[in-house]
Amino acid sequence: MRIDVLTVLPGLFDCFLREGIIGKAVSSGKVEVNVVNIRDFATDKHRVVDDVPYGGGPGMVLKPEPIFRAYDHLTAEGEKPFVILTEPWGERFNQEMAVKLSKKNRLMIICGRYEGVDERVKAIVDREVSIGDYVLTGGELPAMVIMDAVIRLVPGVLGNEESLRADSFMDRGLLGYPNYTRPAEFRGMKVPEVLLSGHHKKIELWRKEQSLRKTLERKPELIEKLKREGKLTEEELKILERLEKERESEG
Ligand code: SAM
């Protein structure tokens, strides 16, 4: 996979692309990330990339020309990328979107700054994406959030792909189960007995129950949806029935 990132602050990506799992994915060539300074595509001597908004008002707006020039340059050859523009009002980023994006060969992420980008940039954009209902100073953190979630899904990036299946939102949207590591007892807090038993079937069942319990508590609407769509197994429905009775008796 190749990802082109268009930004006016390329230095922000240095650490992100060097460290941890993302750093390894990049250095091993599993993912190619090309951080492009929009300023390099400005044509005036001061390399200006922003201007005042038409109609007046506060702040500056990213000009269309350098962004289009960068886009034309990067797409002159090869497959056209799927282009994302980071916007607070965009479609809310989630795991389902990350899975879809991880299957693309080429992505481009345009990071807004200041008051945002000139509306005409939308002509080259496939999807406007938001990482939540709050306003950041720029699209660089959203771009890193999107890349982090997408890159770890690229085959071969995680050492143990089994862990992807156990992640929250991956199995029909269900939330993940709690994890413990050594020591078995810490400050009086004990690891659940079943996890020390070495009994794989029982551990699997416990984890399933924990995952359903958490989803029922925090996303009951998802459980209802899965029930309506017949996407829960007999075993899961039985566990849920028991958990629901437990909740009722607890009031
Ligand atoms: N004027 C914009 C508005 O009315 O919402 C806010 C612009 S914001 C200060 C600058 C840039 O940061 C945006 O163009 C966008 O690229 C990025 N940004 C800010 N918050 C974001 C969010 N929640 N999700 C995605 N991008 C965001």
Residue range 168-224, pLDDT digits in tens = 899 999 999 999 999 999 999 999 999 999 999 999 999 999 999 999 999 999 999
Res. 166 pLDDT band, cuts 50 70 90? confident
Percent of the chain with pLDDT over 70: 100
Task: Kindly tell me if the per-residue pLDDT of 160 is higher than 90.
Answer: no
Ramachandran class of 225: left when φ > 0, alpha when ψ lies in -120 to 50, beta otherwise: alpha
Ligand 1 contact, 131 CB (< 6 A): yes
- Closest atom of ligand 1 to CA, residue 112: 16
Report the predicted TM-score, pTM, of the whole model to 2 decimal places: 0.96
Question: HSE (CB half, 13 Å, CA atoms) of 9?
Answer: 14
Segments in the chain forming alpha helices (H): 14-18, 20-27, 64-74, 95-102, 140-151, 162-166, 193-196, 200-218, 220-228, 234-250
- Domain extents for the chain? 2-151, 168-250
**Is the separation of the CB atoms in 209 and 201 below 8 Å?**
no
Average confidence (pLDDT) over 56-72: 98
How far apart are the CA of 41 and the centre of ligand 1, in A?
22
Look up the CATH number of domain 168-250.
1.10.1270.20
For residue 96, the tally of other CB atoms under 10 A from its CB is 11
Average confidence (pLDDT) over 37-43: 97
Ligand 1 contact, 138 CB (< 6 A): yes
Q: Which helix (H) or strand (E) holds 84?
A: strand 82-92
Ligand 1 contact, 139 CB (< 6 A): yes
Ligand 1 contact, 134 CB (< 6 A): yes
Lowest mean pLDDT among 81-85, 167-171, 237-241: 167-171
Percent of the chain with pLDDT over 90: 94
Res. 251 pLDDT band, cuts 50 70 90? confident
Average confidence (pLDDT) over 81-110: 98
**Is the separation of the CB atoms in 131 and 142 below 8 Å?**
yes
Give pLDDT, residue 163: 81
Give pLDDT, residue 76: 97
Give pLDDT, residue 179: 97
- Closest atom of ligand 1 to CA, residue 129: 25
Q: Identify the CATH assignment for 2-151 out of 3.40.50.300, 1.10.10.10, 3.40.50.970, 3.40.1280.10.
A: 3.40.1280.10
Q: Indicate the length of the chain as a whole number.
A: 251
How far apart are the CA of 233 and the centre of ligand 1, in A?
42
